[in-house]
Structure 1
Amino acid sequence: MSNDNKNFVLFAVLAALILFGWPVITRTFFPAANPPVTKIEGGKTKPLANPSADPTADSPAAIRDRNVVLAESPRVRIETPTLKGSINLKGARIDDLILTKYDETIAKNSPPIRLLSPAGTTDAYFAGFGWRGAEGFVAPAADAVWQASGQLLSPGRPVTLTAANATGQRFAIQLSVDDNYMFTVRQTVANAGGAPISVAPYSYVTRVGVSKDADSWTNHTGPMSAHNGKADYGVNFEDVDKAPVSFTSKGGWFGFVDKYWLTAAIPDQGADVTAQFRGGANKTYQADYTAAPKTVAPGAAMVTTGRFFAGAKEVNLLDRYEDTLGIPHFGKAIDWGWFEVIEKPIFKYLDWLFRMIGNFGVAIILLTLTVRGIMFPVAQRQFASMAGMRALQPKLKVLQERYKDDKPRLQQEMMALYKTEKVNPLAGCLPTLIQIPIFYALYKVLMLTIEMRHQPFVLWIKDLSAPDPLTPVNLFGLLNFTPPHFIAIGVIPILLGISMWAQFRLNPQPMDEMQKQVFSLMPWVLMFVMAPFAVGLQVYWITSNLLTIAQQQWLYSRHPGLKAAPAK
């Protein structure tokens, strides 16, 4: 077998490994996209049901009907521009909360996202507040029914819950809420007894079940905290199943993160606290903190103020809470990772473009135009370098033949030739190297930020953060079957492959036959690799390819040596 044939077989094996191994890699390190929100059926786009929506009351997964549980205890309504729900006076819990700005699916009749549910229901999730004390101190029982100062909690209209014990202590929890997702919790214990008491306030968040969003290398979901000056992504549900995870801190916050949602118990940032994540029966998990105990003399009172967040991980909102309320690393509830310095500016620019235009797909195209415009001078130098390298090919072949048995001497002579001809062999790689962090940053922005969730583009593209649902494999939905994901290549990935093929055709053809074969197959291999990723990424790449083709046509006129056959 000739060397060329061996090389081709090697490349074919490598391509097969990429095609079939890439899904395993993406599931572990690079979750490709959000689940599809639509399917093409009978040639028409139809919204999909949300797979994470709550089961009905009579399904096997349901425990008890939520409406029945909500009616079993007295409640105070919660109504804000972004939240709707209620406070459970039995136990002083916030355990009923929906996010009115966000729907489960893109269907017109889709219910809003439910974040919190009371104990005894499917996916129970709630927060509570209380006190611990030394021996002899009696806090309100977990099932105590508190008295409320009003029937509605809304911005500018706080509600105070009160209770008392038999030894002369009175307890009050004043709850207030802003226009978004932040509750302020002012806890007061007044000692009307005859002896001093030692008491420590606490707060907790409890959930049943792990996150429905995968915990991956690029996006942490599950228990999360910020303590001792750092954001901690190192605790998973599996860790808590084995043993409680505890730490001490001054201030910070402690809770649970999903891809788009966050709950966080937030102590006074000047308070010393002991916090922990712990697991219980039936996949129950709790994040809690307890402040350092203080002694309350007879006739005195202790007042502490904390906060509780329950809502969407909106980028600008989290950053604003971090800055205005002094909550450390609150913006890092979004797992930006190592490239935050690139990802956040790209998000800010995309978000600004979207607010100006109203379409995220168009915003991505304008982002691509901006990036390519900034890189145009670099592209000019790249093409000039490619022209110079092409002209040097015959001389390089001579050196390779002359010093084929002396590799160190060959490298020395090649470097001397580059210096003499003033050619940089690495200059052509610079635009690609610059594009890699930008492409990865856009991937993270599309995958993590709720601002991109369910954002449509045009025609059948109803969610730029999900894969393309339209595929010719089932004749664009006319055939009544859903093809397996690894062959369900969408229209947009096919257009991506075509644009890459056209771009490679315009590139200066390498003299080496093996390289020609690699470049001829690469567009179609990458088409399969990119198919499961978000359509927004593919729109960026297609636009970039089209701009590159236009640049190539223009720069060929400036550097005719690129197309000219190299001298013999």
Structure 2
Amino acid sequence: MDDQNKNLILATALSFLVILAWSFLMPAPEPKPDSTQTELAAADPATASAPTAAPATGTTGTASTTPATQPAEEALAKAARIKIDTPRVIGSISTLGGRIDDLSLKDYRETTDDNSPIVKVLQPAGTEDAYYALYGWAPGAGLAPEDVPGPQTEWSLEKGETLSVENPVTLAWDNGKGLTFRRTIAIDADYMFTVTQSVTNASGGAVSAAPYGIIARHGEPKNRKKFFILHEGIVRMSDGTLEETTYSDLTDLPVLPAEGAKAEVIQVAENGWIGFTDHFWMATLVPSPGNAFKSVVKYDDRRDIYQAEAVLPTQQIADGATVTATTQLFAGAKEWETIRAYEAKGIAGFIDSIDWGWFFFLTKPIFWMLHHLHNLIGNMGWAIIALTFILKALLFPLAYKSYVSMAKMKELQPQMEKLKEAAGGDRQKMQQGMMELYKREKVNPASGCLPILLQIPIFFSLYKVIFVTIELRHAAWFGPFQDLSAPDPTTLLNLFGLLPIAAPEPGSIMALIFIGILPLLLGISMWLQQKLNPAPTDPTQQMVFAWMPWIFMFMLGGFASGLVVYWITNNTITFTQQYIIMRSHGHKPDVFGNIRKSFSRKAKAADAKK
């Protein structure tokens, strides 16, 4: 087996291994227990009991029961509601507990159908996949649990009618003992709420309380992807340290003796945020930058409720005084430009709430280029093709050296054959002779493999970008390709998009057999690339090379169509570059002759079997 073919087979095997076994090669780090771990009371903000946490730890309350699942209309009608209506979101706030628990995104639909329902991010307690934000005060010195507003407190609307960009709303509650609690909620033109909590003390004595914010999620989301390339669960930043915790990791947290719930606490000194991230959506608590807080994750296995909490330091409230605490809540789509703008305004590391992965040093610049190309061209499919040309141009110096080396290897073929004859069966003598030949002719046989190996991290990074970024979600190209983040929708069954027949479900046997036009073009492009060189004489090599394009064709058939577009474009550019460089060095690839020979060998093999 000659070295050039060895390199190609090695690179192909490595590519296959990286694509299929990434999760095993690069497992997510296990979360380390924090030294500031303290004893927390398990909380279920959906239920009737008030917070019972001690202010020494600054934690939130405890729970009793979880409401049964009910239709969304019934859950929404349980209490008076304050409408939310901005250019980008619509929903409502419940006066029961003052929860932000009903939010939908005007700019996003569940499918590519224009009549599809808009995406719902937050849902009230009692519904399937209940998911909401709740705020409050944990009672401290001088206060009992019933003295502070709880999850079942009925707030009154003091100011405003509909929450909009220009019009915040204020809720109020008087505990009847001289304390008046207020909650002012504002929202910007995108997805950021600002929640300002205040307490006015007219009780005749000093008291203390700790303000907190909670994002609660009842059970794991039903529609999550559960794919190794994507993180879904808790994401938090703590003084520059990013931590991603899966739902299964939360269930493995240590059990707290007081309440039997599981929790982990990180003491944040200055800057941080915490929340839940989904594939394309996120709900995150953001305390004011520069302020300390406790970043808490919890799982109550008795009620199957996951929580992310930001617990601010306990505040002393003198008689006649008013104290305030402000926390932001991001609830919406993980748009790169939007999140980057929030980071520029002071939310440290917020751009890392997007799951860039282990190759972040590649995924970030690749997405940056793709994003700006899309803005320039106006079409994501053509932007991916343009990005491929740019990446190939950046790698061209290495590719040029590689193809020159391969051309020189072809020129040395007669001398290599003579060495084989002279060595006979002495493999050591053969290897020594080959090394001397390479050194004399200044040829590096491994250089032909380098550009292919460099394609592996680039390929995986682009796959990550296409899979996880919302900018690729439902991004259209042309004709039947209306979602480049989804597999090719064409198939032989619908005459490759000419008939209005849906393609088989991705991942099914039918989808594997009846592949689309893009995977087919991928296989053909790989096959033509092989034909730049004559088929190897070794029967094993012949078989490997004969099957390789078609194995990749079926293997990548279920991948995002945008990724397959990249791979087809990459193969086409590589074929053109290699053809031109080989001709410039005196070697004229006989592509059509090699194709004819491959078919004639197959015919001879079939005749021999007869």
Counterpart of 2:116 in structure 1 is: 110
Do residues 219 (structure 1) and 230 (structure 2) align?
yes
* 1:20-419 paired onto structure 2 within 5 Å: 25=21, 63-137=69-143, 138-148=147-157, 149-211=159-221, 212-240=223-251, 243-250=262-269, 251-280=271-300, 281-324=302-345, 326-399=346-419, 402=423, 405=426, 407=428, 411-419=431-439
Cα distance in structure 1, aligned partners of 2:162 and 2:392: 53
Q: Is 1:445–2:451 an aligned residue pair?
A: no
TM-superposed deviation, 1:331: 1.2
SS in 2 for 1:77: strand
Q: Distance in 2 between matches of 1:240 and 1:163?
A: 36
User: What is the CA distance between 1:279 and its match in structure 2?
Assistant: 2.2
Whole-Å Cα distance in 2 between the matches of residues 99 and 253 of structure 1? Answer: 22
Which range is displaced more, 273-282 or 326-335?
Answer: 273-282
Q: Offset at 1:416?
A: 3.0
CA contact (8 A) 1:98 1:114 kept: yes
**1:78: how far off?**
0.9
- Partner residue, 2:552: 526
Whole-angstrom distance in 1 between the partners of 2:502 and 2:427: 63
Separation (CA, whole Å) in 2 of partners of 1:233 and 1:403:
59
CA distance in 2, matches of 1:257, 1:419: 55
Cα deviation 1:135-171 (Å, max 9, x = unaligned): 5412023222212211111113211211121221111
Deviations 1:261-303 (A, max 9, x none): 1001112233322232222345321111211212221112222
Q: Structure 1: how far apart are the matches of 2:210 and 2:78?
A: 30
| SS of alignment partner, residue 426 of structure 1 | helix
Report the AA paired with residue 248 of structure 1: Q
The 1-side partners of 2:78 and 2:565 are apart by: 51
RMSD (Å) for aligned C-alpha atoms: 3.2
Whether the 8 Å CA contact 1:418–1:424 is kept in 2: the answer is: yes
* Deviation for aligned residue 1:404: 5.6
**SS in structure 2 of the partner of residue 155 of structure 1:** coil
Supply the distance in 1 between the matched residues of 2:320 and 2:244 (Cα, whole angstroms): 44
How far apart are the structure 1 equivalents of 2:348 and 2:18?
37
Measured in 2, the distance between the counterparts of 1:454 and 1:479 equals 19
Summarize the alignment of residues 458-469 of structure 1 with structure 2, pairs less than 5 Å apart. 458-469=478-489
Partner residue, 2:58? none
| Structure 2 CA distance for partners of 1:520 and 1:492, relative to 1, 3 Å | same
| Partner Cα separation in structure 1 for residue 282 and residue 320 of structure 2 | 39
Q: TM-score, normalised by structure 1?
A: 0.84
**Which stretch shows the higher mean deviation, 445-454 or 456-465?**
456-465
| Matched positions, count | 523
Distance in 1 (alpha carbons) for counterparts of 2:489 and 2:22: 19
Gaps of 5+ in 1: 4-10, 31-61
The 3-state SS of whatever aligns with 1:152 is coil
Q: TM-score, normalised by structure 2?
A: 0.79
Tell me by how many angstroms 1:221 deviates: 0.4
Letter aligned with residue 459 of structure 2: F
| Deviations 1:353-374, CA, capped at 9 Å, x for gaps | 2222221111111112222233
Segments of 5+ residues of structure 2 without an aligned counterpart are 2-8, 27-67, 254-261, 594-610
Distance 1:28 1:412 in 2: 38
Q: Cα deviations across residues 315-357 of structure 1 (Å, max 9, x unaligned)?
A: 1211221221x22321111111122222122212212222222
Q: Say whether the 8 Å CA contact 2:131–2:217 is kept in structure 1.
A: yes
Following superposition, the deviation at residue 107 of structure 1 comes to: 1.1
Structure 2 partner of 1:49: none
**What letter is aligned with 1:359?**
N
User: Which residue type is aligned with residue 206 of structure 2?
Assistant: P
Q: Percent of counterpart pairs with the same letter? A: 40
Distance of 1:311 and 1:451 partners within structure 2: 14
Contact conserved, 2:404 with 2:582, CA < 8 A, in 1? no
CA distances 1:81-121 after superposition (whole Å, capped 9, x unpaired): 11101111111110110011100111121110001111112
Quick one: distance in 2 between partners of 1:27 and 1:67? 41
Question: Structure 1 residues 468, 282: CA separation in 2 closer, same or farther (over 3 Å shift)?
Answer: farther
Q: 1:28 to 1:339 in 2, by over 3 A?
A: closer
Provide the C-alpha distance between the structure 2 equivalents of 1:435 and 1:309, rounded to a whole number of angstroms.
36
